[in-house]
Protein backbone atom coordinates (compact mmCIF):
# COMPACT_ATOMS: atom_id res chain seq x y z
CA UNK A 1 0.00 0.00 0.00
CA UNK A 2 2.63 2.50 1.04
CA UNK A 3 4.81 1.48 -1.85
CA UNK A 4 1.99 2.11 -4.30
CA UNK A 5 1.36 5.50 -2.76
CA UNK A 6 4.99 6.51 -2.90
CA UNK A 7 5.41 5.25 -6.45
CA UNK A 8 2.30 7.22 -7.39
CA UNK A 9 3.67 10.29 -5.63
CA UNK A 10 6.98 10.06 -7.49
CA UNK A 11 5.26 9.51 -10.82
CA UNK A 12 3.00 12.52 -10.20
CA UNK A 13 6.03 14.59 -9.23
CA UNK A 14 7.76 13.89 -12.53
CA UNK A 15 4.52 14.38 -14.47
CA UNK A 16 3.88 17.82 -12.97
CA UNK A 17 7.55 18.75 -13.28
CA UNK A 18 7.85 17.95 -16.99
CA UNK A 19 6.25 21.06 -18.54
CA UNK A 20 7.87 23.23 -15.90
CA UNK A 21 11.26 21.72 -16.64
CA UNK A 22 10.91 22.29 -20.37
CA UNK A 23 9.79 25.89 -19.93
CA UNK A 24 12.45 26.56 -17.30
CA UNK A 25 15.21 25.20 -19.55
CA UNK A 26 13.95 27.46 -22.32
CA UNK A 27 13.87 30.48 -20.03
CA UNK A 28 17.34 29.55 -18.75
CA UNK A 29 18.74 29.74 -22.26
CA UNK A 30 17.18 33.17 -22.78
CA UNK A 31 18.35 34.48 -19.41
CA UNK A 32 21.90 33.27 -19.96
CA UNK A 33 21.82 35.52 -23.01
CA UNK A 34 20.60 38.45 -20.90
CA UNK A 35 16.85 38.40 -21.65
CA UNK A 36 14.20 37.89 -19.02
CA UNK A 37 11.19 36.72 -21.01
CA UNK A 38 7.88 36.83 -19.14
CA UNK A 39 6.23 36.15 -22.50
CA UNK A 40 7.19 32.52 -21.98
CA UNK A 41 3.78 32.11 -20.33
CA UNK A 42 2.26 33.31 -23.61
CA UNK A 43 4.49 30.99 -25.63
CA UNK A 44 3.36 28.08 -23.48
CA UNK A 45 -0.31 28.95 -23.88
CA UNK A 46 0.06 29.38 -27.64
CA UNK A 47 1.89 26.03 -27.70
CA UNK A 48 -0.98 24.42 -25.83
CA UNK A 49 -3.59 25.64 -28.32
CA UNK A 50 -1.40 24.83 -31.33
CA UNK A 51 -0.88 21.33 -29.96
CA UNK A 52 -4.63 20.90 -29.52
CA UNK A 53 -5.40 22.08 -33.06
CA UNK A 54 -2.58 20.07 -34.63
CA UNK A 55 -3.55 16.94 -32.74
CA UNK A 56 -7.23 17.20 -33.65
CA UNK A 57 -6.56 17.75 -37.35
CA UNK A 58 -3.35 15.87 -38.10
CA UNK A 59 -2.41 13.77 -35.07
CA UNK A 60 -0.26 14.16 -32.01
CA UNK A 61 3.10 14.46 -33.80
CA UNK A 62 1.80 17.40 -35.80
CA UNK A 63 0.48 18.82 -32.53
CA UNK A 64 3.97 18.78 -31.05
CA UNK A 65 5.46 20.44 -34.14
CA UNK A 66 2.74 23.12 -34.22
CA UNK A 67 3.30 23.82 -30.54
CA UNK A 68 7.04 24.28 -30.98
CA UNK A 69 6.45 26.64 -33.91
CA UNK A 70 3.80 28.65 -32.06
CA UNK A 71 6.02 29.05 -29.01
CA UNK A 72 8.92 30.11 -31.20
CA UNK A 73 6.76 32.62 -33.09
CA UNK A 74 5.78 34.52 -29.94
CA UNK A 75 9.34 34.46 -28.66
CA UNK A 76 10.47 35.85 -32.01
CA UNK A 77 8.07 38.77 -31.58
CA UNK A 78 9.50 39.33 -28.11
CA UNK A 79 13.03 39.21 -29.53
CA UNK A 80 12.10 41.70 -32.23
CA UNK A 81 10.71 44.32 -29.87
CA UNK A 82 13.27 43.92 -27.07
CA UNK A 83 16.50 43.08 -28.89
CA UNK A 84 16.02 45.01 -32.09
CA UNK A 85 13.90 47.90 -30.85
CA UNK A 86 15.08 48.01 -27.25
CA UNK A 87 11.72 47.92 -25.43
CA UNK A 88 11.51 47.13 -21.70
CA UNK A 89 11.65 43.35 -21.27
CA UNK A 90 9.32 42.95 -18.29
CA UNK A 91 6.49 45.00 -19.77
CA UNK A 92 6.99 43.54 -23.25
CA UNK A 93 6.79 40.02 -21.79
CA UNK A 94 3.61 40.87 -19.90
CA UNK A 95 2.11 42.30 -23.08
CA UNK A 96 3.01 39.21 -25.11
CA UNK A 97 1.35 37.01 -22.50
CA UNK A 98 -1.73 39.24 -22.47
CA UNK A 99 -1.90 39.12 -26.25
CA UNK A 100 -1.51 35.36 -26.21
CA UNK A 101 -4.41 34.99 -23.78
CA UNK A 102 -6.59 37.03 -26.13
CA UNK A 103 -5.39 35.38 -29.30
CA UNK A 104 -5.68 31.80 -28.03
CA UNK A 105 -9.09 32.50 -26.54
CA UNK A 106 -10.37 33.97 -29.80
CA UNK A 107 -8.80 31.34 -32.07
CA UNK A 108 -10.02 28.54 -29.83
CA UNK A 109 -13.58 29.80 -30.07
CA UNK A 110 -13.34 30.30 -33.80
CA UNK A 111 -11.85 26.83 -34.37
CA UNK A 112 -13.90 24.77 -31.95
CA UNK A 113 -16.98 26.87 -31.28
CA UNK A 114 -18.25 28.33 -28.07
CA UNK A 115 -20.15 25.28 -26.91
CA UNK A 116 -19.64 24.07 -23.38
CA UNK A 117 -18.57 20.62 -24.55
CA UNK A 118 -15.02 19.76 -23.62
CA UNK A 119 -12.77 19.20 -26.55
CA UNK A 120 -11.47 15.68 -26.66
CA UNK A 121 -7.96 15.56 -28.03
CA UNK A 122 -5.88 12.51 -28.94
CA UNK A 123 -3.20 12.11 -26.33
CA UNK A 124 0.25 10.60 -26.39
CA UNK A 125 0.68 7.49 -24.32
CA UNK A 126 3.60 6.94 -21.98
CA UNK A 127 6.57 5.09 -23.41
CA UNK A 128 7.65 2.22 -21.18
CA UNK A 129 11.34 1.57 -21.04
CA UNK A 130 11.53 -2.25 -21.00
CA UNK A 131 12.56 -3.78 -17.67
CA UNK A 132 13.32 -0.42 -16.04
CA UNK A 133 9.68 0.60 -15.91
CA UNK A 134 9.04 -2.37 -13.63
CA UNK A 135 11.53 -1.14 -11.06
CA UNK A 136 9.95 -0.64 -7.65
CA UNK A 137 9.19 2.94 -6.56
CA UNK A 138 11.10 4.84 -9.23
CA UNK A 139 10.09 2.71 -12.21
CA UNK A 140 6.82 4.47 -13.08
CA UNK A 141 8.29 7.88 -12.27
CA UNK A 142 11.32 7.72 -14.52
CA UNK A 143 10.72 4.98 -17.08
CA UNK A 144 7.04 5.10 -17.98
CA UNK A 145 6.54 8.69 -19.05
CA UNK A 146 5.55 10.43 -22.28
CA UNK A 147 8.21 11.34 -24.81
CA UNK A 148 8.46 14.97 -23.71
CA UNK A 149 9.61 13.91 -20.24
CA UNK A 150 12.53 12.06 -21.77
CA UNK A 151 13.26 15.06 -23.98
CA UNK A 152 13.31 17.30 -20.92
CA UNK A 153 15.56 14.96 -18.96
CA UNK A 154 17.92 14.55 -21.92
CA UNK A 155 18.08 18.31 -22.39
CA UNK A 156 19.55 18.83 -18.92
CA UNK A 157 22.99 17.34 -19.69
CA UNK A 158 22.75 18.56 -23.28
CA UNK A 159 22.24 22.16 -22.19
CA UNK A 160 24.97 21.85 -19.59
CA UNK A 161 27.33 20.64 -22.30
CA UNK A 162 26.26 23.40 -24.66
CA UNK A 163 26.57 26.21 -22.11
CA UNK A 164 29.80 25.19 -20.45
CA UNK A 165 31.66 23.07 -23.00
CA UNK A 166 31.09 24.66 -26.39
CA UNK A 167 32.29 27.85 -27.99
CA UNK A 168 28.74 29.00 -28.82
CA UNK A 169 27.71 28.41 -25.20
CA UNK A 170 30.60 30.51 -23.95
CA UNK A 171 29.66 33.26 -26.38
CA UNK A 172 26.03 33.14 -25.23
CA UNK A 173 27.11 33.46 -21.58
CA UNK A 174 29.48 36.28 -22.47
CA UNK A 175 26.57 38.05 -24.17
CA UNK A 176 24.56 37.74 -20.98
CA UNK A 177 27.37 38.94 -18.73
CA UNK A 178 28.77 41.86 -20.67
CA UNK A 179 27.26 42.63 -24.03
CA UNK A 180 29.70 45.36 -25.01
CA UNK A 181 32.77 43.34 -24.14
CA UNK A 182 31.38 40.35 -26.02
CA UNK A 183 30.65 42.53 -29.05
CA UNK A 184 34.15 43.95 -28.89
CA UNK A 185 35.52 40.42 -28.83
CA UNK A 186 33.71 39.73 -32.09
CA UNK A 187 30.69 37.88 -30.75
CA UNK A 188 27.45 38.42 -32.66
CA UNK A 189 25.45 39.25 -29.53
CA UNK A 190 22.25 40.11 -31.38
CA UNK A 191 22.21 36.68 -33.00
CA UNK A 192 22.88 34.96 -29.68
CA UNK A 193 20.10 36.85 -27.90
CA UNK A 194 17.57 36.23 -30.68
CA UNK A 195 18.42 32.56 -31.10
CA UNK A 196 18.42 31.88 -27.35
CA UNK A 197 15.01 33.55 -27.07
CA UNK A 198 13.56 31.62 -30.01
CA UNK A 199 14.96 28.32 -28.75
CA UNK A 200 13.48 29.16 -25.35
CA UNK A 201 10.12 29.83 -26.99
CA UNK A 202 10.28 26.46 -28.75
CA UNK A 203 10.80 24.69 -25.43
CA UNK A 204 7.96 26.69 -23.87
CA UNK A 205 5.72 25.65 -26.76
CA UNK A 206 6.69 22.02 -26.17
CA UNK A 207 5.85 22.54 -22.51
CA UNK A 208 2.38 23.71 -23.55
CA UNK A 209 2.03 20.66 -25.81
CA UNK A 210 2.93 18.41 -22.87
CA UNK A 211 0.13 19.93 -20.83
CA UNK A 212 -2.43 19.29 -23.54
CA UNK A 213 -1.25 16.07 -25.17
CA UNK A 214 0.26 14.20 -22.23
CA UNK A 215 -1.69 15.44 -19.24
CA UNK A 216 -5.02 17.21 -19.59
CA UNK A 217 -6.21 15.97 -22.98
CA UNK A 218 -8.11 19.16 -23.72
CA UNK A 219 -7.59 22.90 -24.13
CA UNK A 220 -9.09 25.55 -21.92
CA UNK A 221 -8.67 29.31 -21.91
CA UNK A 222 -5.76 30.47 -19.74
CA UNK A 223 -4.98 26.79 -19.04
CA UNK A 224 -1.28 27.38 -18.37
CA UNK A 225 -2.36 29.25 -15.22
CA UNK A 226 0.94 30.97 -14.61
CA UNK A 227 3.21 27.97 -15.15
CA UNK A 228 5.36 30.07 -17.46
CA UNK A 229 5.85 32.65 -14.72
CA UNK A 230 6.73 29.82 -12.35
CA UNK A 231 9.35 28.66 -14.85
CA UNK A 232 10.97 32.09 -14.62
CA UNK A 233 11.17 31.67 -10.85
CA UNK A 234 12.52 28.13 -11.23
CA UNK A 235 15.44 29.45 -13.25
CA UNK A 236 16.37 31.72 -10.37
CA UNK A 237 15.74 28.97 -7.84
CA UNK A 238 17.96 26.70 -9.94
CA UNK A 239 20.62 29.39 -10.05
CA UNK A 240 20.77 29.64 -13.86
CA UNK A 241 22.09 26.08 -14.11
CA UNK A 242 20.34 23.23 -16.01
CA UNK A 243 20.76 20.76 -13.13
CA UNK A 244 19.48 23.41 -10.74
CA UNK A 245 16.45 23.97 -12.98
CA UNK A 246 15.78 20.20 -12.97
CA UNK A 247 15.95 20.05 -9.16
CA UNK A 248 13.77 23.14 -8.84
CA UNK A 249 11.18 21.71 -11.24
CA UNK A 250 11.13 18.41 -9.31
CA UNK A 251 10.73 20.29 -6.03
CA UNK A 252 7.80 22.19 -7.52
CA UNK A 253 6.35 18.95 -8.88
CA UNK A 254 6.70 17.29 -5.49
CA UNK A 255 4.91 20.15 -3.75
CA UNK A 256 2.00 19.78 -6.16
CA UNK A 257 2.04 15.98 -5.95
CA UNK A 258 1.89 16.17 -2.17
CA UNK A 259 -1.53 17.69 -2.68
CA UNK A 260 -2.75 14.48 -4.36
CA UNK A 261 -1.01 12.33 -1.75
CA UNK A 262 -2.63 14.20 1.13
CA UNK A 263 -6.01 13.93 -0.56
CA UNK A 264 -5.46 10.20 -1.03
CA UNK A 265 -4.57 9.91 2.64
CA UNK A 266 -7.64 12.03 3.49
CA UNK A 267 -5.69 14.50 5.59
CA UNK A 268 -7.62 17.61 6.51
CA UNK A 269 -5.36 20.31 5.12
CA UNK A 270 -6.73 23.10 2.90
CA UNK A 271 -5.75 22.21 -0.66
CA UNK A 272 -4.96 25.84 -1.41
CA UNK A 273 -1.94 25.48 0.84
CA UNK A 274 -0.37 23.18 -1.71
CA UNK A 275 -1.29 25.49 -4.55
CA UNK A 276 0.62 28.36 -2.94
CA UNK A 277 3.52 26.26 -1.62
CA UNK A 278 5.45 26.25 -4.92
CA UNK A 279 5.04 30.01 -5.37
CA UNK A 280 6.29 30.62 -1.84
CA UNK A 281 9.21 28.26 -2.48
CA UNK A 282 10.02 30.26 -5.59
CA UNK A 283 10.00 33.48 -3.53
CA UNK A 284 12.35 31.87 -1.02
CA UNK A 285 14.55 30.79 -3.89
CA UNK A 286 14.54 34.30 -5.32
CA UNK A 287 15.74 35.64 -2.00
CA UNK A 288 18.81 33.47 -2.40
CA UNK A 289 18.26 31.74 0.94
CA UNK A 290 19.68 28.59 -0.63
CA UNK A 291 22.96 30.39 -1.25
CA UNK A 292 23.72 33.59 -3.07
CA UNK A 293 24.43 33.41 -6.74
CA UNK A 294 24.88 36.14 -9.27
CA UNK A 295 22.40 36.58 -12.10
CA UNK A 296 23.72 37.24 -15.61
CA UNK A 297 24.87 40.84 -15.46
CA UNK A 298 22.89 42.03 -18.49
CA UNK A 299 19.61 40.42 -17.38
CA UNK A 300 16.65 42.69 -18.09
CA UNK A 301 18.59 45.28 -20.03
CA UNK A 302 17.24 45.82 -23.51
| Residues found near other proteins in the complex (CB under 8 A) | 36, 38, 81, 85-88, 90-92, 94-96, 98-103, 105-106, 109-110, 114, 221, 225-226, 229-230, 232-233, 236, 270, 272-273, 275-276, 279-280, 282-283, 286-288, 300, 302
Buried b / exposed e along 72-84 (16+ C-beta atoms within 10 A): bbbbebbbebbbe
Which residue, 183 or 302, is less far from other proteins as judged by CB? 302
CB closer to other proteins, 243 vs 273? 273
Instruction: Give the nearest distance from C-beta 150 to other proteins in angstroms.
Output: 29
Q: How far is the CB of 233 from other proteins (least distance, A)?
A: 6
Q: How far is the CB of 187 from other proteins (least distance, A)?
A: 22
Q: At what angle do helices 2-32 and 167-177 cross, to 10 degrees?
A: 70
Three-state DSSP class for residue 15 = helix
87 or 129: CB nearest other proteins: 87
| Residue 169 or 285 with smaller CB distance to other proteins | 285
Which helix (H) or strand (E) is 145 found in, with range?
A: strand 144-145
Least Cβ distance, residue 255 to other proteins (angstroms): 13
Q: Is 14 exposed, middle or buried (0-12, 13-18, 19+ CB in 10 A)?
A: buried
What one-character DSSP code corresponds to residue 269? -
The closest alpha carbon to 295, from 119, 176, 189, 153, belongs to 176
Q: Which is nearer to other proteins, 35 or 149 (CB)?
A: 35
Contact assessment for residue 256 and residue 10, using Cβ atoms and an 8 Å cutoff: no
Task: State how far the Cα of 213 lies from the Cα of 97, in Å rounded to an integer.
Answer: 21
- Give min distance, CB of 298 to other proteins, in A: 14
Amino acid sequence: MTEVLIAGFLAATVRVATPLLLAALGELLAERGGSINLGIEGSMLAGALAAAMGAVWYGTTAGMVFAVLAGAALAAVFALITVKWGADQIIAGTAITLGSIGLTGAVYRMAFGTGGARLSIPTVSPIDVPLFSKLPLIGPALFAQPLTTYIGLALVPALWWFLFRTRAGLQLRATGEDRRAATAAGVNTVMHRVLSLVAGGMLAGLAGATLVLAQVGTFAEKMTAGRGFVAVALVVLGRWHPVGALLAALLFGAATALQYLFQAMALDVPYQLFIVLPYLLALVGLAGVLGRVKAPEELGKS
